[in-house]
A and B are shown apart, each in its own frame.
Chain A
């Protein structure tokens, strides 16, 4: 089955700096890669996603890149703000039979003022 690894587990950056979180997946059948942000005590919410036919996607200060050959994808947050502080989860999913939405272990991002 699919296995998703995520690094780093914790990340502290100064406000205004960039943050990068990296994930790897194992199942070449995975074709959908969402990123979720979870604030303390709240539900995970989608912040950006990418499909396997796209190499990069950007939404304002957030971007995601995908390297299908290497089976890894990354989240980039630029000009970080205190409200970006949260736990971020990557996931890999597929429309094929089998488990969907396999999540990485999460990265706790702290943006220091």
Chain B
């Protein structure tokens, strides 16, 4: 167990819908990262937060948004879902900025039908 909790583990939804993925970082970790992993693909960076503030953005679609709350948990919102958004979404956390290990959650598998 990495200490990073993602909910839900699985999500099946229809095209056009909106979903929210939740991530609770390890206790004390200030940085949260979101990645998208499509079938047999790499870890595509979406967005990064540090202590509640957005720190870096990857090729995140405008239909996607995220935030980190004062208690440091984070949510990734995906709207107007398309079939191509089906993927495994990982959240990771690290203690500080980027000089220590990042721990991954078990991921949320999103299936858009």
Contacts and interface: CB of A to CB of B under 8 A. Distances in A.
Nearest to A102: B45
Interface residues of A, number: 28
Interface string A23-66: 00000000110101000001111100101000000000000000
Contacts of B62: none
Contacts, number: 74
Interface residues on B, range: 20 to 34
B106 to A, nearest CB: 5
Given A44-B90, A89-B42, A100 B107 contact: no
Interface of B: 2, 31, 33, 35, 42-43, 45, 48, 55-56, 58, 90, 92, 94, 96-107
24 contacts: A1-B56, A32-B98, A34-B102, A42-B106, A44-B43, A44-B90, A46-B102, A89-B43, A93-B99, A94-B99, A95-B96, A95-B97, A95-B98, A96-B97, A96-B98, A97-B55, A99-B48, A99-B55, A100-B48, A100-B97, A101-B33, A101-B98, A105-B42, A106-B43
